[in-house]
Amino acid sequence: MVKLTNKKQIMHFQLVCWFMYMASYIARYVYGAMISEISASLNASKSLCGLVSTALFISYGLGQLISGRLGDKYKPYRLILIGIFSVSVINIGMSFASDIRIMIVLWFINGFFHSLLWPPLVRFISDMLSEKDYADSVVVVSIGSACGTIVVYLLIPLCLRFATWRAGFIVCGLIGLLASVVWLIYMEYTVKRSGYVFIPSSGAKITAVNNTSEKDISLGHLIMISGLLPIFAAITMQGTLRDGVLTWMPSFVSERFNLSGSTSILTAVLLPVFSVISFHLSTYIQSKIKDELKTAIYIFGFGAVSAMILIPVSHFSSIASVICMALIVGSMHGVNLMLISRVPPYFAKYGKVSTVSGIVNSFTYIGAAASTYGIALISENFGWTVTLITWAVIAVLGTLFCCLAHRKWKKFISAEQFN
């Protein structure tokens, strides 16, 4: 497999991947940023509007399972182009919708096309770059998700002030179309120039070779011996917190502290800023201890402490509440980097990078789907204090699941028969 080695080429490759992924997050979170405005405009309940986001997360999570397999069988950069172009068109289509039921359908389709992005991207980056450059690149790309969220929460208040929520969908869709054009032109050029040849995986089983024997290892067996089951549970908790807090923080700030809709949305800019810090911090910790799971334990635990502190401070300080929620979301992005970006490459020798990436990422959005609708129900029926306590419990559970997975994962990646 031909790898990019020139530093300038690698930087350009990372930049285009970053821009594409940033645009995808803009097209994914634009609805969540405007959910309160859409709810008021269409006279729809908070829980009903929450179903739109839930539809995306469900289709995204299920689509990951399909996308993961596709990314190991078909050219990943082509799948990514289909995904980013489609979500851009759907965003523009949302600007014409005036019925929540239509929005649910469109956003469900949007979720599926979003699922064509991450697993193929992991496979593509893994194919194109060395192990070290891959590790650096996933941090750059992950920062793109935070940058996309920042753009959303800066751009949407402007759209709401000078136009309507419909303009928000159009602008975000146009950014996605620009990313599609950049991706098409640059990647086609890069692939041809680098001599990249895509090699499909061989199927459900592949052969692992050690010094003395060969054995067929199925995906199910890999999941069992690697400790992925509790990792799946931890990732679900991470997705529940990350997207739940990100989606409903503007509503919480608006309702608890009586801030205007646009001001509440603007306060959410702080969340992805802390996420960027978390990406760098978790990468630094991992570089020192050389252990993805232990790093996830530390970061998840910090998020749990932040969630516990949020419960009392939420009664008297909007600034302290926003900071605590920013720390929670930032921590979950750090966990995401360790468990979703750093775990799949360990399965490269089994031809399962994209497949495992799709599976682990799907659990993020199982949690996200449950939280988006669930948080709306809890806050409507029991109030925000109970909702915040629920967040703290979820964070503690996520930390415990990481602890449960650690020993088996450590044994899996260090065992002689898998080296």
Question: 263: pLDDT confidence band, cut at 50, 70 and 90?
Answer: low
**Domain contains 1:** no
The model's pLDDT over 51-102, given as tens digits with 9 standing for 90+, comes to 888 888 888 878 888 887 887 788 888 999 999 999 999 999 999 998 899 9
| Three-state secondary-structure class, residue 115 | coil
Question: 261: pLDDT confidence band, cut at 50, 70 and 90?
Answer: low
Q: What is the rounded CA–CA span in Å between residue 287 and residue 147?
A: 23
- The domain of 62 spans 7-418
Closest CA to 117 of 125, 106, 108: 125
The CATH number covering residue 151 comes to 1.20.1250.20
**Domain contains 335:** yes
Q: Which two tokens stand for residue 379?
A: 């806050």
**Domain contains 41:** yes
Q: In whole angstroms, how far apart are CA 151 and each of 24, 56, 168, 183, 187?
A: 12, 20, 11, 19, 24
**Domain contains 29:** yes
**Domain contains 396:** yes
Number of structural domains, the chain? 1
**Domain contains 141:** yes
Q: What is the rounded CA–CA span in Å between residue 45 and residue 50?
A: 9
Looking at every residue in the chain, the average pLDDT score rounds to: 84
- Residues of 137-156 as b/e, b for ≥16 C-beta within 10 angstroms? bbbbbbbbbbbbbbbbbebb
Q: What is the pLDDT of residue 214?
A: 41
The model's pLDDT over 272-325, given as tens digits with 9 standing for 90+, comes to 778 788 888 888 898 888 888 999 999 999 999 999 999 999 888 888 888 899
Average pLDDT over residues 151-159: 87
**Domain contains 287:** yes
Cβ–Cβ under 8 Å, residues 320 and 352: no
Residue 186 has pLDDT above 80, yes or no: yes
Average pLDDT over residues 347-375: 79
**Domain contains 2:** no
Q: Which residue has the tokens 């988006």?
A: 372
> H/E/C letters for each residue in 229-253?
HHHHHHHHHHHHHHHHHHHHHHHHH
